[in-house]
Chain A
């Protein structure tokens, strides 16, 4: 935009010389060439599988066929069937993912702020905390979730204490509840929230905060009018990185959930595929999940997306 100017006639004039424009074009072309390998990779490992998924979701099972036998068809009823049975699980997945994302933001933002801004003068401490933030990645996702099962177990310290304080009824339990599933999701995806916000706040110019202080803004006002808006791209990235995988997650629901009100769509896809051997049903659900995330994320980007991220 800086190279153009509005003329009197209302047209946009380019102020750059011919050579400059040529050089610009050449740069663009090099950019295109560099993108080619990535595009090919995407085509091979994303577009083709999506096509296969789509075609599979329309397969039909012939009458009397053996289990696992399907023939190519245009069985759009597959979608109606699985959605009819499993729409509550789809909604629940997005609900859980949303709650987990909000919780992760509420927990993660202060963490990121502490490490990135408050401890800026204390390099060592900052480094240690940063390592601690990333440390969970050093052990297996399943193992960590399994550990939560032990932590929240009926005979465990947490449940016993809560019962003692009468927060939890005597016959209540923590595992096998929606609470445990959302807690698991929040915990497991927290680093995905913290790291982008941390990366963003790391660049925060603290002089701006001084300036806002000089203008008689209290700490709260400074935070909401300066820090938060400036870190919006980090928050935006964090929420996406948390919400998308959380919506499709099934490990937390499988390990920490029950069979009544915690089933997530990932579990259903898993069981359609491996238990019922209903490949078309599993494919249809996967496709619906992908499409729903796509739509939700598109809306989100349109509504809150910032230029800086593009």
Chain B
């Protein structure tokens, strides 16, 4: 009896839901003209995406002295984490030593999508809810160019003296007044040593017939295109342009169309490597170290002979942030060699802090000579970074790239 009632109720709700859907759709049809007009009116008042560089905006008021809080948005799996205790050990240390509360979120999954998410707030100088965000060099370059970040007070970051000398001056931020390196990494080649013992030497080798349908590429245009340009012997720091870009994108297109490339992916390419669907591809150094640690030593990561990429992810204080001083304290904390070593032992990316290598001896002696954590000449000699792209190029290239990868 009660079952019957439940069924009737359920059915009633379903047909009601559908009736509603129909009604609302009808309404739209009928009112389409009216809506269009209202839409135009709305256009004048919608701030949404209409936004230019932050001009004449004042930075967020720093309430660090009254509110003991710092909010930090970082990438996923980019800070040492203790599975058992369910916390971030170094962050706990920082809380204790500074007395600050830290609101840490793994909010960033891709430069583009994070930018898409916060851009309109940044442009109007609003607080995006974070005092620190971490973005890759080229996006850092864009964000600084647009004036979306605050100037750092070096006096509050005494440990900055430990930053690798090569990172003291970068082209997008001379003197590092607006951004500081969090971690660095390489983009290179990976392959499954068991299933593909022959291995790779250059990007070109990915197009071997025995890898048909088993190759994965990164869906970040800034990784895939420059490394393909290098493969063709082009100096990516020099003045390459649309012609060179077309050459690289055609290779991607051809190998997608003929089924050589299985998928062009973001961070999820790791799952394809684990499942064995992908046997080789373009990858980030730290990911492969982590995979080898977690899934058995199955993969090899190299810099292609014709060159791979080196990049950094940088701390920045968004323009509307309200705890800049606290954010500076946090950055300062992470430039201590022992803390940096602890982070590096977990995230396995290149550590930008001088003295961390010595500290690593105490944490994990195996990692002291890991070229993917502490840079060696052999790797650095093959690593470079593409030149700055103009806004129009950025827009154009991204468009073409997305069209070729089909989304």
Contacts and interface: CB of A to CB of B under 8 A. Distances in A.
Interface in A154-209: 154-156, 171, 173, 175-176, 195-196, 199-200, 202-203
A202 B7 contact: yes
A71 B110 CA distance: 26
Nearest to A287: B39
A52 B219 CA distance: 30
B120 A68 contact: yes
Contact of A309 (B15, B40, B48, B110): B15
B35 A51 contact: yes
Interface of A: 38, 42, 46-47, 50-52, 54-56, 58-59, 64-74, 85, 123, 127, 146, 149-150, 153-156, 171, 173, 175-176, 195-196, 199-200, 202-203, 233, 237, 240-241, 254-255, 258-260, 263, 267-268, 270-279, 294, 297-298, 301, 308-310
A72 B399 CA distance: 22
Contacts of A70: 49-50
The 4 A-B residue pairs with the shortest CB-CB distance, nearest first, are A55-B43, A54-B39, A274-B113, A199-B11
B112 to A, nearest CB: 5
Contacts of B11: 196, 199-200, 202-203
A123 B14 CA distance: 23
A259 B7 contact: no
Interface stretch (B168-176, B289-297, B387-395): B387-395
Contacts of B403: 85
B407 A259 contact: yes
Contacts of B256: 258-260
B53 interface: yes
B25 A54 contact: no
Contacts of A259: 256, 261, 263-264, 405-407
Contacts of B391: 64-67
A274 to B, nearest CB: 4
Given A173-B213, A294-B25, A51 B264 contact: no
A207 B3 CA distance: 20
A176 B277 contact: yes
A47 B146 CA distance: 34
11 contacts: A51-B35, A52-B46, A54-B36, A66-B142, A67-B395, A68-B51, A150-B275, A173-B277, A233-B15, A259-B263, A301-B22
Given A52-B42, A59-B43, A154-B275, 15 more contacts: A46-B24, A58-B43, A67-B394, A69-B50, A70-B49, A72-B44, A73-B43, A154-B276, A154-B277, A155-B277, A176-B213, A176-B262, A196-B11, A276-B398, A294-B29
Contact of A59 (B10, B49, B146, B271): B49
A310 B17 CA distance: 10
A238 to B, nearest CB: 9
A277 B119 contact: yes
B205 to A, nearest CB: 18
B52 interface: yes
B43 A258 contact: no
A249 B155 CA distance: 51
A52 B39 CA distance: 6
